Amino acid sequence: MAQKVVDGFFMSHSQKFETDIIGKVAAGQMTVQLGAKALDVSQRSIFRYLKAWQAEGVSYVVHGNKARSPQNKTCDELKTRAKKIMESKYFDFNMTHALEKLREEEGIEGLNRESFRKWVHEWKMVKHKVRGRSKARYMRGRHKQRGMLLQLDGSYHEWYGVEKSCLIAVIDDATSEIVEMEFFDWETTEDCMAILQIIIERFGIFEILYTDKAGVFGGGKRVHFSQLKQAVEAIGSHFIYANSPEAKGRIERLFKTLQDRLVAELRLHNITERAAANKFVKTHYIKNHNAKFGVVPVVSENAYRLVPPQVDLKEIFCLKYFRVLQKDHTLSFESKTYLIKSPLRYSIKKSNVEVRVYPNKQIKFYYGGIRLDATQLTSRYNFDEINAIKEKWKKIA
């Protein structure tokens, strides 16, 4: 279809359609309402078009700024001068650096960055950043024994409903078997500790725990995650951070499999609550998954070690903080003041007292491995309360 020419310019398809509609409205062949609907404009706009039609004819459709140069257009002389300088002196400069030189060394003013960017692309003088090749990643062989290396991670997904929850899983590197997994609200340090405590109680102490660096610098994903590292090392295991998602590829692929298969299984069993989902996972899914995807280890003997009788896992897998004991044997923790009664014969003021917070939110105080008696004060400056507590302790002693 040939395009119509108006005032030396070709009309676009939409412009030709508009003039046809306005012409029909002007000739009485179409109502104003129908014309507004056809052009998807208001009736007021139709009347405005009709007025322009009567005054200018079909040429009204051509914008008045057509073929006019913008007022802020950079002059052609400046463009030519900049091109010559670029070709002779700054051909190997990057765009920002070259623009700085044109302004500072050549005295070219009034040249904005966007215009210069378009010019250098037009001149094919863009200095592209050299992209280095990606680092080669080689396949890492499996460890030979169960319990030699465990990978831990969490995955947020709509597992059993419309709201997202976190599935924390631990996989054995030697067999790709799921050692333990459970649904939680978030991937917190306490939840990771709970998972590891279950594994140790069931199988024994593993050799290495492999996980990412989430929260190690105080991030929001796992706050105080370094405490998990301290707990793992306290039981005689090693803790290794992965430097990339590819490094812990086995557990990453596990989550892809779980998002494909476990979500469908939970839906099939009409499971929409966390308690039912955790029960299904522990009693049904893990066993079937390991039977289907598990790999036979090279060495049949496990690397798990027995937990020493003197080790109390509850005292290891808890959050631990340190507070300085003041001269009046009080310390502050989580905006609360506690009065400490030391069983020692000497004062331990200015010493670091260990504060242990357990999963049930119970708080205990230790110094040198010895538990200290403590009482929470309603007010740090209530001396009557402090004296009454001290007198009570004296009678007990």
Asked if residue 109 belongs to a domain, the reply is yes
SS3 letters for 47-105? HHHHHHHHHHHHHHHCCCCCCCCCCCCCCHHHHHHHHHHHHHCCCCCCHHHHHHHHHHC
What's the pLDDT at 1?
40
pLDDT at 104 over 70: yes
pLDDT in tens, 185-198: 988 888 999 999 99
Identify whether residues 271 and 339 lie together within a single domain.
no
pLDDT at 72 over 60: no
Identify whether residues 165 and 276 lie together within a single domain.
yes
pLDDT in tens, 105-144: 888 877 788 888 888 888 888 766 666 666 666 667 788 9
pLDDT in tens, 357-374: 999 889 999 988 888 888
Cβ atoms 111, 131 nearer than 8 A: no
What's the pLDDT at 387?
66
Identify whether residues 259 and 166 lie together within a single domain.
yes
Identify whether residues 243 and 360 lie together within a single domain.
no
Asked if residue 17 belongs to a domain, the reply is yes
Identify whether residues 232 and 350 lie together within a single domain.
no
E strand map for the chain: 5-6, 9-10, 149-157, 165-172, 178-184, 208-211, 238-241, 319-324, 330-333, 336-341, 352-357, 363-367, 370-377
Asked if residue 141 belongs to a domain, the reply is no
| Of 79 and 366, more confident | 366
Q: How far apart are CA 81 and CA 146, in angstroms?
A: 73
Task: Identify the band that residue 77 occupies on the pLDDT scale cut at 50, 70 and 90.
Answer: confident
| Of 68 and 287, more confident | 287
What's the pLDDT at 318?
92
Identify whether residues 218 and 353 lie together within a single domain.
no
| Of 82 and 393, more confident | 82
Identify whether residues 153 and 288 lie together within a single domain.
yes
What's the pLDDT at 229?
87
Ranges 33-42, 63-72, 188-197, 321-330: which has the least confidence? 63-72
Q: Which domain holds residue 223?
A: 149-293
169: domain CATH number is 3.30.420.10
> In angstroms, how far is the first alpha carbon of the chain from the final one?
107
pLDDT at 154 over 60: yes
Identify whether residues 88 and 196 lie together within a single domain.
no
Asked if residue 69 belongs to a domain, the reply is no
The structural domain count of the chain equals 4
State the average pLDDT for the chain: 83
Asked if residue 312 belongs to a domain, the reply is no
Asked if residue 127 belongs to a domain, the reply is no
| Of 183 and 34, more confident | 183
Provide the sign of the torsion angle of the four alpha carbons 215, 218, 224, 226, taken in this order. Answer: positive
Identify whether residues 158 and 284 lie together within a single domain.
yes
Identify whether residues 345 and 274 lie together within a single domain.
no
Identify whether residues 46 and 98 lie together within a single domain.
no
Q: How far apart are CA 26 and CA 270, in angstroms?
A: 65
Asked if residue 130 belongs to a domain, the reply is no
Identify whether residues 237 and 337 lie together within a single domain.
no
Asked if residue 235 belongs to a domain, the reply is yes
